[in-house]
Structure 1
Amino acid sequence: MSIPAYPALIGEHAELLPLARDQAGELLAAAADGELWNLKVTVVPGPGSIDAYLDKALAGREAGTVMPFIIRNRRSGRIVGSTRFWKIDRANRKLEIGHTWLAASAQRTAINTEAKLLLLEYAFEAMGCVRVQFTTDVLNEKSRAAILRLGAVQEGIVRHERIMPDGRKRDSVRFSIIDDEWPAVKAALLARLGRGHST
């Protein structure tokens, strides 16, 4: 898996660009659209946590285990969220797509669908992955439904998988797409974008 450390993934509706420290203000503005930092089922940076959020993401990139992106709306030019490849395991050609959040106004739009298509396409076709996984809070019904709509397969529940900022011991649901499934998943995502349907 010989890959650039800072790839840019460009689509028609969305572009995924390398996360940078000077984007803190724009990221906070995106997270303020819906006050996403108040969500209990995911972790979104707020005014008091943005520096630590950036530190962790950029340290992971330096270590080679994380590839963090901002998500930009190509039409408006505004940052509308963030996502990343993480748990990158080059020896076993697998990774996880996670830490994904979108401003309330960008949710269930073509931006979300296309961002996932760009990430999956890069993982399977540029990085040569044989497995891409997703993990979400067992309580996050919206996220679980969205991952299933991608064509991912639910594998099971990982009990007490992490401790949330409020101290809750989170059970997580794990999903995956494997390389054999990618052509059909890609075709379905392209069809959804072609029809102009939102996710």
Structure 2
Amino acid sequence: MARTGTWAERARVRLENEYVRLTPMTEQDREGWREQALDPEIWTHFVTRVDDEAGFEHFFDAYLGATEAGKRTTFTITDLISGRIAGSMSYGNLSEPDLRLEIGSSWLGRDFRGRGVNHWAKYLLMRHAFEGMDAERVEFKTDVLNERARRGLRAIGATEEGVLRGYDVMPGGRRRDAVYYSVLRSEWPIVRARLEEGPRHR
């Protein structure tokens, strides 16, 4: 059966398993985000900074506006064990003609790191990308210096492709080298099986 709707429409879904729930962000998520986001450690390798209340408001408003405009879909992640908002993750760089998208802008509050939340959120987003949106390629990028993120991407079965030197500018002025990873449709059955085994604690 042919699927209907644009990718921007098909990306706006609620995704859930027994561990996490992902919902497209709304204004009602603001305070839950704020509770987690005012932690400087989150932003070490981000191209944006949230240093204070004003910075948080700008950050939240920018992502909410882009989501409402259909330029990306940013999800609020709720940890179902605690019932609390844990952080956020996004579908971005949607290239529907090429059947390619990026999963990124991933961050979690301090209480939710190393507990499998990132693992299950990425699993749900990849599953929907390949099985609900018919993507051929799901890609990820991170700061070449972000060893935690790189270990995590390897752990979920993504293939490291290479480094784009001087890719963009970090808040302190450093030009970031960005390292790309991807999972292809042909690889998804193996990656899915690996993810469904649960997170490997590193």
TM-score for both structures, normalised by structure 2:
0.88
Deviating more after overlay: 68-77 vs 2-11: 2-11
Query: Unaligned stretches of 5+ in structure 1?
Result: none
Q: Which residue of 2 aligns with 1:11?
A: 17
Q: Which residue of 2 aligns with 1:36?
A: 41
Equivalent residues of 1:157, 1:172 under 8 A apart: yes
Change (3 A) 1:71 1:44: farther
Distance (whole Å) between structure 2 residues aligned to residue 146 and residue 133 of structure 1? 14
Q: Which residue of 2 aligns with 1:187?
A: 193
Task: Please say if 1:53 is aligned against 2:23.
Answer: no
* Deviation digits for residues 138-160 of structure 1 (CA, Å, limit 9, x no counterpart): 11011011001110011100111
Task: Please say if 1:70 is aligned against 2:83.
Answer: no
Change (3 A) 1:153 1:91: same
Distance (whole Å) between structure 2 residues aligned to residue 24 and residue 142 of structure 1? 27
Task: Please say if 1:153 is aligned against 2:159.
Answer: yes
Code of the residue aligned with 2:176 in structure 1: it is R
Report SS of the residue matched to 2:160: strand
Distance (whole Å) between structure 2 residues aligned to residue 62 and residue 91 of structure 1? 21
Task: Please say if 1:84 is aligned against 2:90.
Answer: yes
Code of the residue aligned with 2:193 in structure 1: it is A
Equivalent residues of 1:24, 1:50 under 8 A apart: no
Q: Which residue of 1 aligns with 2:143?
A: 137
Percent identity over paired residues: 32
* Deviation digits for residues 102-155 of structure 1 (CA, Å, limit 9, x no counterpart): 112211212221111101001100011000000000110110110011100111
Deviating more after overlay: 169-178 vs 62-71: 62-71
Structure 1 segments of 4+ aligned residues over 6 angstroms from their partners = none
* Deviation digits for residues 38-61 of structure 1 (CA, Å, limit 9, x no counterpart): x42124644222222223223322
Shift of 1:11: 1.1
Query: Unaligned stretches of 5+ in structure 2?
Result: none
Report SS of the residue matched to 1:91: helix
Task: Please say if 1:111 is aligned against 2:113.
Answer: no
Report SS of the residue matched to 1:181: helix
TM-score for both structures, normalised by structure 1:
0.89
User: Aligned pair count?
Assistant: 194
CA RMSD of aligned residues (A): 1.9
Distance (whole Å) between structure 1 residues aligned to residue 173 and residue 29 of structure 2? 29
Equivalent residues of 2:92, 2:101 under 8 A apart: yes
Equivalent residues of 2:144, 2:178 under 8 A apart: yes
Report SS of the residue matched to 2:23: strand
